[in-house]
Amino acid sequence: MTHLGYLIAGWSIGLGTLAVYGWSVARRAKAAARHVPADRRRWMSAND
């Protein structure tokens, strides 16, 4: 059980990094989507 701390730290850092990256990509995508004209938007983001 001497390596448990390293194991937990490694997984926490790895998953935390992926979570922060995913959050930042989603935030930038949402901001970029605001600049797309309504007639050029894809069907998933249309407000119809």
C-alpha distances out from residue 9 to 5, 12, 21, Å: 6, 5, 18
Q: Is the pLDDT of residue 27 over 60?
A: yes
Q: Give the span between the Cα atoms of 41 and 47, in whole angstroms.
A: 10
> DSSP assignment, residue 35?
T
Q: Give the span between the Cα atoms of 9 and 15, in whole angstroms.
A: 10
Q: Is the pLDDT of residue 46 over 70?
A: no
Provide the pLDDT for residue 13.
Answer: 98
Q: What are the φ/ψ torsions at residue 45 (nearest 5 degrees)?
A: -105, 5
pTM for the complete prediction?
A: 0.68
